[in-house]
Amino acid sequence: MKFAKRMDRFGEGIFSSLLEVKRRKEAAGEQVIDLSVGTPNIPPAPHIREALCRAAADEKNYVYAINDQKALLEAVALWYKRRYGVELDPSSEICSLLGSQEGLSHIALSIVDEGETVLVPDPCYPVFADGPLIAGAKLFYMPQKKENGYIIQLKDIPEDVARAAKLLVVSYPNNPTTALAPDSFYEELIDFARRYEIIVLHDNAYSELVFDGRKAGSFLRFPGAKEVGVEFNSLSKTYGLAGARIGFCVGNPEVVSHLKLLKSNMDYGMFLPIQQAAIAAVTGDQSCVETTRKAYERRRNVLCDSFSSIGWQMDRSQATMFVWARIPQGFAGSQEFVMELVEKAGVMVTPGSAFGPSGEGFVRLALVQDEDVIHEAVKAVEESGILNR
């Protein structure tokens, strides 16, 4: 058998590799506390689940969706107006996604041709780079360095690279570094995109998971943003709907229309009961959002403070459902540390190297376990002796 050469651009996803280690250890009767994958364990609020169940019980809802329901598009527009102060035209500036991951893996196909340049953060959520690679793009990594507060320094991008770039992907609050960007960054980003005629994609999946009284909004609230790009948003973390796969691309109508055209040749739209759940989520009682945020903030406090108390120093994350931490001294790299951590302590985290070259030397820990389980993880790491190496 012969397969596509494009597959040579990819190795096995890090999360698949970690899952295999987890299965092996559990098959041997060993406990594994998984802090690697950002899979929320906080379920959707009752009113969202009820909307989904009602719609799923209706036999008429098992046809192809084909297009987004008008009610869904109007609900998203109202959500963006209420939450972010952004006006959206439901008919031309909103497109549903079967989860942000689906949109991120496909949108480059509608923007870049083989060999064209895409600017991606480093470190970054893997699909930010993998999506453009599927389209045959050439990647240029924009470093996010601790000394700069993990904010991309657009001025450091070489002139020839900027002129060649077709698409720029950025995301704050940031996964994996957890950083927030100041308003000045977005203003500079819009000017940069205008100057070099680059389309901007801002992923805004974590705007509600912001801690210590901080606030995050939408890239589209800045003047000129809608002229240069779009924003992806997701209901996975905010509303606990990760498995339902609900996301949206909103903003520039040309970018949205091209993505809609591409998707019309790839899928049959979002399952109608899931559209109803999405409507209930963004239009219903929003107290569940604050409840979820507080739960993640408490978990962050327990995880960071407890690990720091046993000698693995961690800064409290500003936002997201993750913690970004330097590996302890004595390890050659993040992959080595992660494998030794799971083998000796039964605690699984993600190596920073999985997120790009600048991620080496760090690991990402997901706040996806209850507080008592986090305490168990800390105890297991302390007793393993791995920090005394």
Q: Cβ contacts of residue 127 below 8 Å, gap of 6+?
A: 101, 104, 105
Strand 117-122 with 165-170, pairing: parallel
Q: What is the pLDDT of residue 13?
A: 64
Angle formed at CA 284 by CA 278 and CA 289, multiple of 5 degrees: 85
Query: What's the CA gap between 36 and 270, in Å, rounded?
Result: 28
In 149-286, which ranges are continuous DSSP H helix? 159-164, 183-196, 225-228, 253-264, 272-283
Q: Which of 286, 324, 226, 259 is nearest to 108 (CA)?
A: 259
Q: State which residues of the chain have pLDDT below 70.
A: 12-15
Q: Identify the pLDDT of residue 14.
A: 67
DSSP string, 335-375: HHHHHHHHHHH-EE-EEGGGG-GGGTTEEEEE--S-HHHHH
Contact between residue 209 and residue 321 where contact means Cβ atoms under 8 Å apart = yes
Tell me which DSSP letter residue 100 carries.
Answer: H
**Which tens digit of pLDDT belongs to each residue from 205-221?**
999 999 999 999 999 99
Specify whether the CB–CB gap between 347 and 377 falls below 8 A: yes
Domain positions in the chain are 5-43+288-388, 46-283
Q: Report pLDDT for 102.
A: 96
The model's pTM: 0.94
Q: Which two tokens stand for residue 235?
A: 């209901």
Quick one: three-class SS letters along 313-327?
Answer: CCCCCCECCEEEEEC
Residue 3 has a pLDDT of 92
* CA-wise closest residue to 125 among 95, 156, 104: 104
Question: Per CATH, is 46-283 categorized as 3.40.50.150?
Answer: no
Pick from 112, 110, 91, 114: which is nearest to 102 by CA? Answer: 110
Give the bridge partners for 165, in sequence order. 117
Q: Which fold would CATH assign to domain 5-43+288-388?
A: Aspartate Aminotransferase, domain 1 (3.90.1150)
Amino acid at residue number 326: R
How many other β-carbons are positioned within 10 Å of the β-carbon of residue 190? 20
Q: Are 159 and 46 in contact (CB under 8 A)?
A: no
What is the number of other CB atoms lying within 10 angstroms of the CB of residue 286? 17
- CA-CA-CA-CA torsion sign (64, 69, 75, 81): positive
